[in-house]
Amino acid sequence: MKSKVLVRKVTQYDLAETEAFVRDAVGLLCAPGRPFGAGQKVLIKPNLLRGAKPERCVTTHPTVVEAVCRVLKDSGAGRIDIGDSPAFGSLSYVASQAGYAPLIKKYGVRFVAFSNPVPLETADGVPHLKIAGNIFDYDRVVNLPKFKSHRQMTLTLAIKNLFGCVVGKRKPVLHCLVDNDKVKFGGMLVDIARRVDPCLTVVDGIQAMQGNGPMHGDPYPLGLLSAGRDLTALDRVLADIARVPLARVYALEAARQKNFGNYALEAIELAGADDIQSLAVEDFRLADFPIDISFNPLRLIKSMVKQVYEVGIKERLAR
């Protein structure tokens, strides 16, 4: 069976237009009837890497998150939580910096930090791999990645976004346990995505990030919203739109090797556009200086010290 991917040109963060896209995605991609049943608990997983204003393109734009909240409320969801495990800073601070604070009053959402790590066994045997156990308290997970370049993994899209389900500083430690093999690391990301199994993914590519992402890149007006249930099919379409060599999109290459989802274009049904070429761009810039997947010990220590500074000093001064 072909995997459906919905792609639409959307050039501005207009709430009505974004909400219409989300509603169309739910209608096209989710099961008939009410995909979010009355009283269900739904987790929204955006990209909340670190505290940054929306125009920096580090995080999923609040308009996209709000559009999903509106659709969930109308669909009868009983509880809507926004969860992630930022690389730097507390979830509440990072979400507020990203512009999510008004969603608390408007839709009754809660910010829920990922916690209670539980083991995840993989065929590749990555040691010490655990993901947040509280993810499994929810009936549905909605994945909301930001379209960004990535110095280590080339792009961060649908599959890569779910690495945020690893709690806290376990993430850089896992970087060091894959023998500096980017495809092996991608395989771990695929295993996480398979276990989390989001019911819907909507990728924020209205303003993407190019260059030295995922934190220090530049905004790029890609002008796209895209959605799918098959994470591999979605990532394949987006990689082709950005004209990135597929072998360098390491999570996607791992998905191909692991037969996770539909990788071949012949097995993907594109909706919302005539073809990929009509959406493709010529000038999306990748990282100037790609780096290894592994963190050396000094960089790992620096990351931990930075987290202590962000939470213990910077956030207190900002209050």
pLDDT at position 171 is: 73
CA pair distance 150, 144, nearest whole angstrom? 17
CB burial of 89-112 (b: ≥16 within 10 Å; e: otherwise) equals bbbbbbbbbbbbeebeeebebebb
pLDDT in tens, 117-126: 999 988 888 7
Domains (ranges, CATH) in the chain? 3-307 (3.40.50.11440)
Mean pLDDT per 10-residue run, the chain (319 residues)? 97 98 95 78 97 97 98 94 94 97 97 95 83 97 98 97 88 71 94 97 98 97 98 98 98 98 98 96 96 69 59 63
pLDDT at position 122 is: 83
pLDDT in tens, 71-85: 999 999 999 999 999
DSSP per position, the chain = -PEEEEEEE--S--HHHHHHHHHHHHHHHSPSS-SS-TT-EEEEEE---B---GGG-SS--HHHHHHHHHHHHHTT-SEEEEEE--SBS-HHHHHHHTT-THHHHHH--EEEE---EEE---TT--TT-EEEGGGGG-SEEEEE-EEEEETTTEEE-HHHHGGGGS-TTHHHHHHTTSTT-HHHHHHHHHHHHHHH--SEEEEEEEEEEESSTTTS-EEE---EEEEES-HHHHHHHHHHHTT--GGG-HHHHHHHHTT-S--SGGGEEEESSS-STTT--S-----SS---SSPPHHHHHHHHHHHHHIIIIIHHHH-
pLDDT at position 178 is: 73
pLDDT at position 306 is: 64
